[in-house]
Amino acid sequence: MDHDMPGMGGMPPPSPPQDHMMMGMGLTHMTFFWSKNAEILFSGWPGTRTGMYVLALIIVFVVSLFVEWISNSNYFKDKMSNYNGLVKTFVHGLKIALAYLLMLAVMSFNVGVFIVVVAGHTFGYFLFGRRNNSENNACQA
């Protein structure tokens, strides 16, 4: 009598690694690629038009700047000190939601998206974060 369950015999050999896999009708890359033909966050967006790809990169850059502004801006922190905890909690949730959207955009594995996210955060820190650190260091001295 055979006690093995059907289909539980030998496991098939693992398939070789691929740089993409099919998800529905779209193509999901699993390694970095450089192309204007990408899907960032939403199915079919930005599509295959160069202008839409550039617009998507600009939007991603601005969102990463905005996340740095929320995180590091003294102006923003001073304004928020007048509000109650509910408003501060909402703004914190907004910051986290936008940061996760940026993470998901980077997970499109498009090199252009990766570069503008890093550039946006870096430039945002240059504009908003470094002054906070130098002010904090001056207060501690």
pLDDT at position 85, please?
A: 78
CA separation for the pair 24, 120 (Å, rounded): 32
The model's confidence at residue 137, banded by pLDDT at 50, 70 and 90, is: low
**Taking Cα atoms as reference points, which of 69, 67, 68, 128 lies closest to residue 101?**
67
The two three-digit tokens of residue 66, written as one number: 């905005």
Q: In this structure, are residues 60 and 124 in contact, taking their beta carbons and an 8 Å threshold?
A: no
pLDDT at position 13, please?
A: 57
Dihedral over alpha carbons 42, 44, 48, 49 (to 10 degrees):
-70
Let me know the angle formed at the C-alpha of 130 by 76 and 114, rounded to the nearest 5 degrees: 90
Q: What is the pLDDT of residues 4-37, one digit of tens each?
A: 555 555 655 555 455 444 445 455 677 888 888 8
* Alpha helix stretches (DSSP H) within the chain: 50-72, 74-80, 85-106, 111-124, 130-140
Q: What is the pLDDT of residues 74-112, one digit of tens each?
A: 766 677 777 777 878 888 899 999 999 999 999 999 999
pLDDT at position 75, please?
A: 63
pLDDT at position 72, please?
A: 87
pLDDT at position 135, please?
A: 59
Let me know the angle formed at the C-alpha of 51 by 50 and 57, rounded to the nearest 5 degrees: 90
**Taking Cα atoms as reference points, which of 29, 63, 58 lies closest to residue 46?**
58
